[in-house]
Structure 1
Amino acid sequence: MFDCDVLVIGGGIVGLSTAYALTRAAPGTRVTVLEKEHALARHQTGRNSGVIHSGIYYRPGSLKAKFAVEGAAEMVKFCAEWDIPHEVTGKIIVATAREELPRLHALVQRGRENGIPVRELGPAQISEYEPRVRGLAAIHVGTTGICDYGAVSERLAEASGARILYGAEVTVIDRRAWGVAVRTADGRVVRAKVLVNCAGLHCDRIARLAGDDPGMRIVPFRGEYYELADPSLVRGLVYPVPDPAFPFLGVHLTRGIDGGVHIGPNAVPALAKEGYGWSVVRPRELGATLAWPGSWAIARAHWRYGAGEMHRSLSKRAFTEAVRRLLPVVEESGLRRAAPGVRAQAVLRDGTLVDDFLFREAPRTVHVLNAPSPAATASLPIGREVAARALARL
Structure 2
Amino acid sequence: MSGAVGGAVAFEVPGVPGTPRGWGRRVVRWAADTVLVVVCALCGLVFLGLELDPASGPRVRGDAALVADVLLGLPATLALYARRRAPVLVAGVLVAVSVVSGFAAVPCLVALFGVAVRRRWPAVAALGAATVLVGVVYGLLWPDPEFPQWLLVLFLLALVVPVAGWGMYVRTRHQLVASLREQAETARAEQELRVQRARATERARIAREMHDVLAHRLSLVSMHAGALEFRPGAPAEDVARAAGVIRAGTHEALEDLRDILGVLRADAAAPGGEEVSGRPQPTLDDVPALVEEARAAGADVDLHLGVPDGARPPALAGRTAYRVVQEGMTNARKHAAGRPVRVLVDGAPGTGLEVSVVDDGAAAALAPSPGAAVPGAGLGLVGLAERVALAGGELEHGRTGGGYRLRARLPWPA
Over alpha carbons, which structure has the higher Rg? Answer: 2
More strand by share: 1
TM-score calculated relative to the size of structure 1: 0.19
More helix by share: 2
TM-score calculated relative to the size of structure 2: 0.19
